[in-house]
Amino acid sequence: MTAQFPPPVPEAGQRLLSHEELEAALRDIGARRYHNLHPFHRLLHDGKLSKDQVRAWALNRYYYQAMIPVKDAALLARLPDAQLRRIWRQRIVDHDGDHEGDGGIERWLKLAEGVGFARDYVLSTQGILSATRFSVDAYVHFVSERSLLEAIASSLTEMFSPTIISERVAGMLKNYDFITKDTLAYFDKRLTQAPRDADFALDYVKQHATTPELQRQAMAALTFKCTVLWTQLDALYFAYVAPGMVPPDAWQPGEGLVSEASQAKPGASGGKMAAGDRPRLPRGVRLRNDETRGKWVLLAPERTFDLDDNAVAVLKLVDGQNTVSQIAHTLGQTYDADPAVIEADILPMLAGLAQKRVLER
């Protein structure tokens, strides 16, 4: 790990910043590079991802969670001071728990199970993207090999995490019917743990970055950490959103799941539709040209839906393959209209049909 990350603030690295200036410079790195800005997270929080895309995120992110105590143990091993070690070891306790069934890793497993995964499959990490593994491993190496100051500074992304967690919890609960408050229990704890950890680390960095060069190193370490997080989302986006290139051996939708029937819970099925979903007409629902009356209709159990031209154009593209976004995009090209406007129009229509149980996703 010899790559130099450029200082984020031009004048930083040239003169010694006050504690306030240093904190501002560090926060500025987060404001521009933290992964809450990543398009994948925006999709996640806005409910635009399909269930499978949320699954891919939960599965890959598990590897990051699982390696955090490894990273912290490496750092702990290098701390010369009992008081510092007592403080830092709390992070390991938080993540590993005091006993079986406790701790942040366990809560993340619950989240993965909550979206349908079999526990053993998640634990095996066999389905994660290699980019996830490379990024996370790079982080562990960084913390093991760089100076203590850099190692501790790299944890400062925790300064920014309460914001993203609030956004995430609110957004995911609102937008995904398969996500419950229980599923997201991981984040409840982190809301209080992260600021406590960040306060300590920030104070340490302020006290120990005593030269312009050390301050530059601290900023570069935080930048590096932002990159570790960002890269993981790049990889998720590339594999599971667009262009959808899933590498060999990485998780494919349908793998590693507990069967739907055994995890079905009341109220968890139809009625919602997100831009990343791939709607389809289930067996027993058919789009048909009613020649006698000169119109297209949707035939469903005990009922017939009369369709307007717009609905027909949309439903002709509903094939279980196209996402709602892709349908909007195709219609945008056909009718020379803004796909974003079309998407906003057709989502409620599709959700309405899903609620009537004549459309699935």
Partner 1 sequence: MNAPTPAPSPADVIPAPVGLLAELTHRCPLRCPYCSNPLELDRRSAELDTQTWLRVLTEAAGLGVLHVHLSGGEPTARNDIVEITAKCAELGLYSNLITSGVGGALAKLDALYDAGLDHVQLSVQGVDAQSAEKIGGLKNAQPQKMQFAARVTELGLPLTLNSVIHRGNIHEVPGFIDLAVKLGAKRLEVAHTQYYGWAYVNRAALMPDKAQVDESIRIVEAARERLKGQLVIDLVVPDYYAKYPKACAGGWGRKLMNVTPQGKVLPCHAAETIPGLEFWYVGDHSLGDIWTKSPAFAAYRGTSWMKEPCRSCDRREKDWGGCRCQALALTGDAANTDPACSLSPLHAKMRDLAKEEAAENPPDYIYRSIGTNVQNPLSEKAPL
Site residues for partner 1 per CB under 8 A: 177, 266-272, 282-286, 288, 290, 292-293, 297, 299, 301-302, 304, 354-357
- Smallest gap from Cβ 323 to partner 1, in A, equals 20
Q: Which residue has the tokens 């850099």?
A: 150
**From CA 225, how far away is CA 135, in angstroms rounded?**
9
- Smallest gap from Cβ 52 to partner 1, in A, equals 19
Among residues 99 and 293, whose Cβ is nearest to partner 1? 293
C-alpha distances in Å from residue 350, one per residue of 144, 274, 311, 324, 345 = 51, 9, 9, 9, 9
Among residues 81 and 302, whose Cβ is nearest to partner 1? 302
Among residues 304 and 321, whose Cβ is nearest to partner 1? 304
Q: How many Cβ atoms are within 10 Å of 110's Cβ, its own excluded?
A: 16
- Smallest gap from Cβ 38 to partner 1, in A, equals 30
**From CA 81, how far away is CA 83, in angstroms rounded?**
5
- Smallest gap from Cβ 117 to partner 1, in A, equals 23
- Smallest gap from Cβ 181 to partner 1, in A, equals 18
- Smallest gap from Cβ 268 to partner 1, in A, equals 8
70 by Cβ neighbours in 10 Å (0-12 / 13-18 / 19+) ranks as middle
Among residues 146 and 272, whose Cβ is nearest to partner 1? 272
Strand partners, 305: 298
Among residues 214 and 297, whose Cβ is nearest to partner 1? 297
All residues at 6 or more sequence positions from 156 whose CB lies less than 8 Å from its CB, including other chains: 26, 30, 198, 201, 202, 205, 222, 225
Among residues 181 and 283, whose Cβ is nearest to partner 1? 283
All residues at 6 or more sequence positions from 160 whose CB lies less than 8 Å from its CB, including other chains: 27, 30, 34, 36
